[in-house]
């Protein structure tokens, strides 16, 4: 075990997009990071190398976050590498799109498994293992407010995440652990950009006063705030979308 005096964070889905930006941002604050991936090990290793090159501490760990044993192993890695866990940032999720009338129920089952069951699994572990003064940060989406067509399954799954967040915050009464949700708006990540035409992307970008998509780093700033100084923010869903909703 390489125990450190730093705060320690697990960031799920940290091999790319918002997860990677969050891992880098937390590392910049001096937090040791477990960089989780579920498929893109090379990208996770690259994130670890970037953190190490800046003088930080990080380790990569893979697994299906909706599987109890794989998720528990992730927390074990944090314990062995850094001595424990102070922060969970749960960004891992999937976003297949389809109108509700044409939604394949097998796809719905997959969305619910990854986005809802996965959140329950990692939040359960965090509720048991995060140290006092820690933070649990889930990721939702501004689509729960925007209610755009074709996002039915995704919005439903993230609405569940927001409900789970507030309930868990109240259940951790007396533990000095905050539980919040960050709900990004349209953000320039591979998950969001996939399958969209340049014209559609421009149209979506113009829906907020800044007339651009969010960047992963924009979202990571909110994550860093909740992971560190925001001790009086608890049980909240923070919409980080440039004013789109």
Segment 68-116, tens digit of pLDDT: 999 999 999 999 999 999 999 999 999 999 999 999 999 999 999 999 9
- 71 falls within a domain: yes
- 201 falls within a domain: no
Q: Is the predicted pLDDT of residue 2 greater than 60, yes or no?
A: no
Looking at residue 193, its pLDDT comes to: 84
- 198 falls within a domain: no
pLDDT in tens, 9-26: 999 999 989 999 999 999
Full residue range of the structural domain in which residue 56 is found: 8-187+216-238
Return the percentage of the chain with pLDDT > 90, whole number: 88
- 136 falls within a domain: yes
- Number of alpha helices (DSSP H) and beta strands (DSSP E) in the chain: 10, 7
- 163 falls within a domain: yes
Give the CATH number for residue 32: 3.40.50.720
pLDDT in tens, 224-245: 999 999 999 999 999 999 998 6
**What pTM value is reported for the model?**
0.95
Looking at residue 1, its pLDDT comes to: 47
Q: Is the predicted pLDDT of residue 166 greater than 80, yes or no?
A: yes
Contacts of 139 (CB under 8 A, 6+ apart): 18, 89, 90, 91, 93, 161, 181, 182, 183, 184
The sign of the CA dihedral 168, 173, 175, 178 is: positive
**Arithmetic mean of pLDDT, 52-59:** 98
The whole-angstrom separation of Cα 18 and Cα 191 is 10
Looking at residue 85, its pLDDT comes to: 98
**Arithmetic mean of pLDDT, 207-225:** 95
Looking at residue 195, its pLDDT comes to: 78
> Which has the minimum average pLDDT: 90-99, 186-195, 201-210?
186-195
2-6 contacts: CB < 8 A, separation 24 or more?
Answer: 2/57, 2/81, 2/82, 3/82, 3/83, 4/32, 4/57, 4/82, 4/83, 6/30, 6/31, 6/32, 6/57, 6/82
Tell me how long the chain is: 245
- 209 falls within a domain: no
The catalytic residue positions are 154
- 206 falls within a domain: no
The whole-angstrom separation of Cα 224 and Cα 4 is 19
Return the percentage of the chain with pLDDT > 70, whole number: 98
Q: Is the predicted pLDDT of residue 29 greater than 90, yes or no?
A: yes
Q: Which residue has the higher pLDDT, 189 or 51?
A: 51
**Arithmetic mean of pLDDT, 133-158:** 96
- 196 falls within a domain: no
Q: Is the predicted pLDDT of residue 5 greater than 60, yes or no?
A: no
Count of domains forming the chain: 1
157-190 burial, b at 16+ Cβ within 10 Å, e below that, comes to bbbbbbebbbebbeebeeeebbbbbbbbbbbebe
């Amino acid at each position: 075990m390489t125990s450190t005096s730093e705060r320690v964070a697990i960031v799920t889905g940290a091999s790319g997009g918002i997860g990677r930006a969050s891992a880098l941002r937390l590392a910049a604050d001096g937090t040791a990071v477990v960089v989780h991936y579920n498929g893109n090990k090379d990208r996770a290793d690259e994130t670890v190398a970037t953190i190490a090159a800046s003088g930080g501490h990080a380790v990569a760990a893979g697994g299906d976050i909706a599987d109890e044993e794989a998720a528990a192993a992730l927390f074990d890695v944090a314990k062995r590498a850094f001595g424990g866990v102070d922060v969970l940032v749960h960004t891992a999720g999937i976003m297949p799109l389809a109108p509700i009338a044409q939604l394949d129920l097998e796809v719905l089952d997959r969305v619910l498994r990854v986005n809802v069951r996965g959140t329950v699994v990692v939040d359960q572990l965090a509720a048991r293992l995060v140290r006092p003064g820690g933070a649990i940060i889930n990721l939702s989406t501004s689509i729960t407010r925007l209610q755009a067509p074709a996002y039915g399954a995704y919005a439903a799954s993230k609405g569940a995440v927001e409900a789970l967040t507030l309930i868990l915050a109240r259940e951790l009464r007396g533990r000095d652990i905050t539980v919040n949700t960050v709900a990004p708006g349209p953000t320039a990540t591979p998950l969001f950009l996939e399958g969209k035409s340049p014209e559609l992307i421009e149209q979506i970008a113009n829906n907020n006063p800044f007339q651009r998509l969010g960047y992963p780093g924009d979202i990571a700033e909110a994550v860093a705030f909740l992971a560190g100084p925001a001790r009086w923010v608890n049980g909240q869903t923070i919409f980080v979308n440039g004013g789109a909703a």
